[in-house]
Amino acid sequence: MRPDWDSYFMKIAFLVATRSTCIRRKVGAVIVKEKRILSTGYNGAPSGLLHCLDIGCLRDKLNIPSGERQELCRGLHAEQNAIIQGAMYGVSLMGSTIYVTNQPCITCAKMLIQAGIVKIVYQGDYPDKLALEMLEEAGVEIIKFIPDDKEV
């Protein structure tokens, strides 16, 4: 059976997440406009730097809980990498949709708002209520994707 568009792009986001070098959470993001992929991103260290898979997780070493003190991390979030990829190649993200395997954090929420993303489709939860509040205030459509029983 042919998947609907949300299922299709969410599956691609999960595939993108397999490139993640984060020890704690594998996240993938796909930015789409008019049913065309504009950019993708996964969480991991900036290009040219050692990955957490290789040297360990700074957040684990400092006992930092998920959802707190995001600045104390070697990695960029999937959403950040997808936005940066668009910028590197001169692709406007204005009016686009992002499919992401987990709910964005507050830092990513602010970047998505500023980049002109108008819709977020996510599957997994993340402990950041303020992010959802700011996205709602900005008028960004937020959809929690619930796969049907046939999907992974």
Q: Give the pLDDT confidence score for residue 1 in this predicted structure.
A: 85
> Both ends of the chain: CA-CA distance in Å?
14
Check: CB of residue 101 under 8 Å from CB of residue 124: yes
79 is catalytic: yes
Q: What is the band of 152 on the pLDDT scale with cuts at 50, 70, 90?
A: low
Consecutive H or E run containing 86: helix 78-88
Check: CB of residue 87 under 8 Å from CB of residue 63: no
Q: Give the pLDDT confidence score for residue 90 in this predicted structure.
A: 96
How do residues 60-95 score in pLDDT, each as one tens digit? 999 998 888 888 999 999 999 999 999 999 999 999
Q: Give the pLDDT confidence score for residue 30 in this predicted structure.
A: 98
Structure-token pair, residue 64: 């930092």
What domains sit in the chain, N to C, each tagged with a CATH number? 5-144 (3.40.140.10)
Whether residue 57 is annotated as binding a ligand: the answer is no
Whether residue 73 is annotated as binding a ligand: the answer is no
Q: Give the pLDDT confidence score for residue 9 in this predicted structure.
A: 98
Active-site entry in 34, 68, 71, 79: 79
CA distance 15 to 13: 5
Q: How far is CA 70 from CA 9, 24, 67, 76, 139, in A?
A: 27, 13, 7, 9, 24
Taking Cα atoms as reference points, which of 47, 30, 44, 53 lies closest to residue 117? 30
How do residues 96-149 score in pLDDT, each as one tens digit? 999 999 999 999 999 999 999 999 999 999 888 999 999 999 999 999 999 886
Whether residue 51 is annotated as binding a ligand: the answer is no
How do residues 49-59 score in pLDDT, each as one tens digit? 999 999 999 99
